[in-house]
Amino acid sequence: MAILEPPVRTEPRSGLHSGPFTTEPFFDFRNDDNARRMRAAITKVRAQLGREYDLIIGGKRLKTGDKIKSLNPAKSSEIVGIHQKAGKEHVEPAMTAALKAFESWSRTSVEERAALVFRTGDLLRSRKMEFMAWLVFEVSKNWAEADADVSETIDFCEFYAREALRLAKAQTPIQLPGEHDTLHYIPLGVGAVIPPWNFPCAIMAGMTLASIVSGNTVILKPSSDSPTIAAKFVELLEEAGMPEGVVNFCPGSGASFGDAVVAHSKTRYIAFTGSREVGLHINKAAATQAPGQLWIKRTILEMGGKDAIIVDADADIDSAVEGVAQAAFGFQGQKCSACSRAIIDERIYDKFLQLLKARVEKIQVGDPAENANIGAVINEGSMKTILSYIEQGKKDGRIITGGERAEGEGYFIKPTVIADIPPKSKIEQEEIFGPVLAVIKARGFDHALEIANDTEFGLTGAVYTSSRDKIERAIQEFHVGNLYINRKCTGAMVGAHPFGGFNMSGTDSKSGGPDYLYLFTQAKSVGEKI
């Protein structure tokens, strides 16, 4: 198995929607047939690079003067897709189309809405490798990371459709004598869905699917770094039978189109995943009542992390090294759940660093189309920012391995481990979003927990220890939304690990969990005298 691949399960199952939810299996690329099929998908998608995509507003295709060019991070001269750039002038048409569609879509039966989402999942399952190939080109995911992203998208189709059907059967806790008492979870209205580039299929689709299966309509503004995969997904929704105006595809600038949609008086909610700074900006803008606004806008925000793995002196050190390496450098560290801090008990600190250095230096950096272990970071600006953090790390600590750009045309950075980083220093506190791991020495478990909790974030964390008492303490005291014991802090699975964080990591919205659709609905209680 290639380094940093997720665990392999079985071959894909058929698209049956009865029975309990189960997660979509990953491909085993040690299988020659799977590897051959993936190479064929990459060849097929490569032939489609550079195509132009339209805005879709109310089912109509529109072109604009300004364009967005999506580039291959691993080969920056290669254009993945050319997209129309929505501006402020497109906000009102998009809102009008979404409001019109809401009139009928909100009254469409939940069974019909769920059926649409199930069909979308079936279509995606049948073209899974093709979508994976788009992720390889547009955001530089290797085959396994692309598989995990698309598999999670299928999981969201399956899980949220089932959850919508479950919510439709909600009952009041009691029935009063002489009454028929019912509880209905009704849609909110028009939502602005603003996804990130790092999970451009799963997070984009997950927020969109949760919206529409609940009966809402959507103005979708994908990241300018990954609009092509969003365009492909909207095409899939249309093929599955989505009515016009239910999802309006509007790539555009966050500072113009995005801000205008957030501020619009008819926007009912904003589902956002991205940086802390943008999330707080959206939260503030949404809290300001616009003229004619009749509701408090709901914000569903996931804003990143500064995630830590604690390795206690009694841990299985080999397992901990593997978990830290995978969590820190999978997808170039560009996950809000990535391990960016390893907090190591001083009694095993030197041995851990020795083993970690050897493990990280086995990671191959290169073109993800050839299934290198890790690819390029998303764009030139991100690369420069990450390298500036590395320079700061050289001042605050010592480079164990990496610390510079890697060879290639794209935005490649060597996986970097920086030891002896003091708590509260810049690279120990700020989200870097790249292949950079800060290693901090702890005097013991109490000190490790203190360091781990001493940031403004609280998304994921992990603890490696053989002590049951320390595990129980971590469950009580490690203040994160997703905690893992004796395993890496990335790789949340739909249904098993509802995902969302505390503090400046967001609103703890728990995507992929049983309470997620509550955020896209409002409860209406009806008491009828009989």
Q: In the structure encoding, which two tokens stand for residue 500, read together?
A: 């969302």
CA dihedral 334, 338, 339, 341 (to 10 degrees): 60
Return the SS3 of 335.
coil
Positions marked active-site: 302, 336
Contact 461, 485 (CB under 8 A): no
Q: Letter for the amino acid at 379?
A: N
| Cα 443 versus chain centre, distance | 34
Contact 208, 220 (CB under 8 A): yes
Q: Letter for the amino acid at 76?
A: S
Q: How far apart are CA 64 and CA 55, in angstroms?
A: 8
Contact 464, 362 (CB under 8 A): no
The position carrying tokens 């602005």 is: 192
Q: Residue 419: which of 397, 394, 386 has the closest Cα?
A: 397
Q: How far apart are CA 518 and CA 510, in angstroms?
A: 11
Classify residue 14 by its DSSP letter. P
- Output the DSSP codes for 459-497: SEEEEE-S-HHHHHHHHHH---SEEEESS-S----TTTS
Q: Residue 499: which of 307, 326, 220 has the closest Cα?
A: 307
| Cα 110 versus chain centre, distance | 26
Q: How far apart are CA 295 and CA 222, in angstroms?
A: 25
Q: How far apart are CA 500 and CA 480, in angstroms?
A: 9
Phi, psi at residue 129, to the nearest 5°?
Answer: -65, -30
Q: Are strands 67-72 and 75-84 parallel, antiparallel or unpaired?
A: antiparallel
| Type and span of the H or E element at 307 | strand 307-311
